[in-house]
Amino acid sequence: MSNSVPAGTWISDKVHSTFDFSARHMVVATYHGSLPDFEVTLVGNEDGTARLDASAGVATVKTAEENLTGHLLSPDFFDAETYPKVTFTSTDVTRDADHLVVHGQLTAKGVTKDVTLHGEIVGPTVAFEDQEKLGVTLEGTIDRRDFGMNWNATLPTGGLVLGHEVKLVASLELNKA
């Protein structure tokens, strides 16, 4: 088993990849949303180094409720009109067997912060029509306030409507370019 990302350029398959986020809601539940308009490129170099770059268009944010989606697009959260994209650029990609650690910089709402993502890498394998594929799942947690997403309200019995921590999950099927 290799301890480097397979050599080549790997591009996200939009049909078979997702980028989701979740946060505590009303103290007792976890609410989920997604950014379906995203692209990821993973480059494995012959020397064993790797780079991962990603961007997502925030105008297509999806939740189960239209008013919530509208609120996420507003200046209280993503401010999609002013900041149409969220980006991630790796600074270090490390593989140990199937475990992947990606350090990088996440930019949202004009603010850039260091973020570490942990996950799994599977493959490569050859699929139909000799297409090489690689699977990557990455997870991390951020504090939304670090990115200027400060909106909240206090519940009548105490506690906040929305938790500060946001879990990020990317489930990627990558095609070799």
Class of domain 8-176: mainly beta
Over residues 89-107, the mean pLDDT reads: 96
Helix (H) or strand (E) holding 71: helix 66-73
Residue 59: per-residue pLDDT: 96
Over residues 35-45, the mean pLDDT reads: 97
Residue 1: per-residue pLDDT: 54
Residues in the chain, total: 177
Helix (H, G, I), strand (E, B) or coil at 64: coil
Please state, in angstroms and rounded to a whole number, the distance separating the CA atoms of residues 156 and 36.
Answer: 35
Residue 171: per-residue pLDDT: 98
Average predicted confidence (pLDDT) for the chain = 95
Please state, in angstroms and rounded to a whole number, the distance separating the CA atoms of residues 115 and 144.
Answer: 12
- The DSSP string of 108-160 is ETTEEEEEEEEEEEEEEEE-GGG-EEEEEEEEEEEEGGGGT-----B-TTSSB
